[in-house]
Amino acid sequence: MGWLVRQGVDPAVVPVFRYRRWVLLDDNGGITPVPSGVAS
């Protein structure tokens, strides 16, 4: 499955919901969990 982030927006700053939690995507295909209460 792929993720779609609006054109011109940095995916490292747009949280996506993955496996029941919010994460940020990086350029290498990795993820960084978003602290609780930051994204909704």
pLDDT digits (tens, 9 = 90+) for 30-40: 889 998 776 65
Does this model's pTM top 0.75? My answer is no
pLDDT at residue 2, as a whole number: 66
pLDDT at residue 35, as a whole number: 82
Q: Structural domain boundaries of the chain? A: 1-40
φ and ψ at 11, to 5 degrees?
Answer: -60, -20
Enumerate residues 6+ apart whose C-beta is below 8 A from 7.
none
**pLDDT-based confidence at residue 1 (cuts at 50, 70, 90):** low
Dist CA 40 CA 27 (whole Å): 23
